Structure 1
């Protein structure tokens, strides 16, 4: 992959100041942990149950630290409307969209979007693993999902924000933000539950805000799907 296609920071001073701001870093890490768990784990049986519970219990419109107010308000409304979707509808959605064995209209793996063959474990997945190895970054998640699974990448970003903030812009710019919009648009279009629609809206608003705060211009990647 050519060097000119990697991410860049448009305002280095502003970005550096944010990366020294412990309150920002912890707020982002906490939000990324919650959002990542919801996109990675079963909404009822695993770590997402607690995360979805937190999203229902807090006042997202007032207390969520990222995103435009209008997006936070709409996301809160969707979560409130989706209360009765647990457990059955959400379990079915999780199987259909995230963890099922068949075709997914919004596959959650980066290489499916960024690799010419549109397959899991493709070249961009290899680049992410090489980056993690080069910087001695190892996610705490120990299951078999590829490292470029969307939820797993968010959880990894949370870990990096807490332990290696100097690497956060690179991780986001070169390995997540370059395909997250495409995935989230596809996921929102495919979702049949208000809960997942609200989650997608809140996640996109959060990443857009963080990208602006850190002045990140994501890597230019060709999207094949």
Structure 2
């Protein structure tokens, strides 16, 4: 179940969905106790336009991003995308036969993409590599990122979603008995 759930969660932070599609994804995630009723209610209260604007602002870089979704922004001293941590993560993916070619020139350490890679490793029965991805390459920065997103999102739906997904990731961490690596983070 974690494999499919990770794909769905990743898609919420990476793919531009319509409000109706988001409602369907949230319904599936609610059945798995990943998202809460307040998250579903927050989605319902949003207009199509507000959702589109917030997605662009929060995940695609429209304007000043309050919570950038790329690991290197938090892991690299210069707080840049495509930093040293991205290069390290790319090498990790390559060593496990994963290529995240989206057709765009973008860093692979985007929050949603990291969940896609995690689910791909699980689907290939590479559980140790999947655990390492979360322990070292994603969770050290993703948990503070989700806190920042919850606090700074310009849309209540994405604020509640961030809280719910952080809770889910902590449950996954417990279930998989992960040892999250304490990495130096560069936060404002």
Per the alignment, residue 16 of structure 2 pairs with 42
Distance 1:79 1:126, change over 3 A: same
Among 155, 166, 172, the alignment partner of 1:204 is 166
- The aligned counterpart of 2:148 is 186
Q: Contact 2:23–2:40 (CA<8 Å) still a contact in 1?
A: no
Contact kept, 8 Å, 2:135 with 2:179, in 1: the verdict is yes
TM-score (norm 2): 0.89
**Which one has a bigger Cα radius of gyration?**
1
Shift of the alpha carbon at 1:141?
4.1
Q: Following TM superposition, by how much is the alpha carbon of 1:206 offset from its aligned partner in structure 2, in angstroms?
A: 1.1
CA deviations over 1:5-29 (Å, ceiling 9, x no partner):
xxxxxxxxxxxxxxxxxxxxxx111
State how 1:23-42 maps to structure 2 within 5 Å.
27-42=1-16
Q: Specify the alignment match of 1:57 in structure 2.
A: 27
- Paired with 2:156 and 2:82, the residues of 1 have a C-alpha distance of 31
1:89-168 matched pairs, under 5 angstroms? 89-139=50-100, 141-163=102-124, 164-168=126-130
Gaps of 5+ in 1: 1-26, 67-71
Distance in 2, matches of 1:34 and 1:106, equals 21
Question: Are the structure 2 counterparts of residues 145 and 53 from structure 1 closer, same or farther at C-alpha, using a change threshold of 3 Å?
Answer: farther
Compute the TM-score of the two structures, normalised by the length of structure 1. 0.76
Measured after TM superposition, the shift of residue 34 of structure 1 is 1.0
**Consecutive unaligned residues in structure 2, runs of 5 or more:** none
Partner of 1:177: 139
Change (3 A) 1:112 1:185: same
Distance change in 2, residues 1:59/1:222 (3 Å): closer
Report the Cα offset of residue 58 of structure 1: 4.2
Q: 1:139 to 1:65 in 2, by over 3 A?
A: farther
Counting matched residue pairs gives: 186
**Large movers: runs of 4+ above 6 Å:** none
